[in-house]
Structure formats: C-alpha cells, structure tokens
Amino acid sequence: MANSEKKGWSGKSRGGKFGHQFFVWTVRLLGVRCAYVFLAFIVIYFIPFAPKATKAIWYYNRRRRGLGFFASIKELYCHYFVFGQTLIDKIAMKGGLTERYNYKFDNYDRFLEILNSGQGVVMIGAHIGCWEAGAGFFGGYGKRINIVMLDAEHKQIKEVLDENACSENNYKIIPLNQDIIEAMVQIKIALNNGEYICFNGDRYMAEDNLTKVEFLGAEAQLPTGPFKIATKCRVPIVFYYAMRESGCSYRFIFEEPVMEKRGSIESLVEQYRASLERVVTKYPRQWFNFYDFWRTKN
C-alpha cells in the first residue's frame, strides 16, 4: 500500500509478480474457488508485513465503525480476505471467466439513457468493490470510456495480468504521471467527443483542490477536481460502484446527483460524500482505502 500523509495516494498496489502469477495459474488450473482457499492462508502474511495498511484498516474498524477489540481483529482478517477475493475475481474476469459470476444492476436504464445523451459523462467511483467487474458489460460503450488514474502499478504485475487476459481492455487510460496540462487536454477532447471520463473520488495525489467533509463521523478531505471538470464542461455526473455480494455475484450501482443550474461544487461533493458513505456502510469490508484517509496519527 502507500503512505499518503503528505502527498496523497501514490497509485501503487500491493503484491509482487509471483503472487499475481500464482493466482493466475491457480484460477486457470483449479478454478476460482480453489484460489479462494489458498487466499485464506496467504492473507495472514499481510497483517504483520503490511503495517501501514493494517494500521489504516484497524483505525477504520475500531474508531470509525466503532467495533470492539476482538471484532476488529476479525474484521482485519476479513478485510484483507475480501480484498484478495476481488483481485482473484479481476484475474478470472480478465481470463474470460465472466460466466462464472452473476450480475445485478441498479438504475441501469437511466444510466444507459445518460450514456446515450451524446454530451459526454463524468463517472465518479471509489476504491470500493471491483469496478473492473463491469468492464466487460459496457460492450460498445467501453470504447468511449477514459479512466483517469495514476498509472504507478509495477510493470511486471501489469504484464502478468495482460499476458493472461483473453482480450484487450476496451477502455482507455489517461495517466496522471504525464504533464497535467496534457491530461486535461485529453479529458476535454474526450468530453467534447461525447466520451466518458472516469475518476475515483476518494483519493488524491496532491494537496490542492481539496475540500473538508465529515465522513463516518470524522473530518476527512475529498478532491474537488472531478466535480469542477464536470461543471465547467457542463456534462452530467454519475456515481458508479461495482460491489461484491454473496457467492460469485456483483451488484452495479449507478446514482445520479442533482445538478444545479449554476453548478455548486460544494453540493456535488456533499452528494458524493453521502453516496459513498451509504455504500461503505452497506459494504464495510469492501472499502479498500488502505492509507491514513482521516489524516490521523493515532
């Protein structure tokens, strides 16, 4: 995981090339459920050897969710396990095993209506659930999706996933590693072409363009950039989450905030905060913000 106490999220994910390759082989030879069995033992390693992430999960469960000591210990293990499940699911889906999963949709018809409006869309999600679970179900829409992200994944890990994928990603990446002006130009061009720009609204890479909010009973900060882009470009916003449910099932949640005529940034951020808090409360083990989100030293 990453330390974001000074500069925000670094964009890197935990896990080496061998670990990812091991689960690729396991899923391919023994199946998804056998991979879950191996995962049950492997996650124990991360509790002591990923101290920053463990500290963040402990604070989240103990202080923000208000769980007791022993319940927090249980949740610490379960949190890592569910995170590992979503990574295995991602590997399986990229490997063409989408038929092993069941899918449910909330507000899907309205979501398609917005996508078909032809005016471009800003989609804002979070590091919760597994948004990639829906990538294969966007069909032709996927070619118009542009994901804005800090492309800091280790190249070897990305190579493992790409080499074992049955098909190429049907979406495009706008990396924030490059010049920020160039990224903004790409975003503007995509929106002008009626394409979709996707952000994760629960992390930030820099200290500017932040606003303070109360999240799960404590002060935190959320980036305002995605909301400013949507209001300046006068395009609709959709909140999107792909949540894992019992068995091998995923629920895709689409929520549409109220867009005021003059585009109040504060109102949009508050609607996103409330939306994310509802989803986190319903799926508490699936919020994978493994860093000091509340900027506390406790």
Predicted local confidence at residue 95, as pLDDT: 80
Question: Tens digit of pLDDT per residue, the chain (298 long)?
Answer: 333 334 444 445 555 565 667 778 888 888 899 999 999 999 999 999 999 999 999 999 999 999 999 999 999 999 999 999 998 998 888 888 888 888 899 998 999 999 998 889 999 999 999 987 876 667 778 788 898 876 654 455 456 556 655 556 677 888 876 677 888 899 999 999 999 999 999 987 667 789 999 999 999 999 999 999 999 999 999 999 999 998 889 999 999 998 875 558 999 999 999 999 999 999 999 999 898 999 876 5
- Token pair in block for residue 208: 């500017």
Q: How many CB atoms lie within 10 A of CB 118?
A: 8
57-95 burial: b if 16+ Cβ within 10 Å, else e: bbbbbbbbbebeeeebeebbeebbbbbbbbbbbbbbbbb
Predicted local confidence at residue 280, as pLDDT: 98
Confirm if 196 and 145 have CB atoms less than 8 A apart.
Answer: yes
Domain ranges of the chain: 17-286
Predicted local confidence at residue 11, as pLDDT: 46
Predicted local confidence at residue 161, as pLDDT: 55
Distance separating the N- and C-terminal Cα atoms of the chain: 18
Q: How far apart, in whole angstroms, are the C-alpha atoms of residue 264 and residue 278? A: 21
Predicted local confidence at residue 14, as pLDDT: 53
Predicted local confidence at residue 26, as pLDDT: 87
Confirm if 152 and 10 have CB atoms less than 8 A apart.
Answer: yes
Max Cα-Cα span within the chain: 56
Predicted local confidence at residue 3, as pLDDT: 38
Question: Which of 144, 153, 44, 20 is closest to 94 using CA atoms?
Answer: 20
Q: How far apart, in whole angstroms, are the C-alpha atoms of residue 82 and residue 203? A: 20
Predicted local confidence at residue 297, as pLDDT: 63
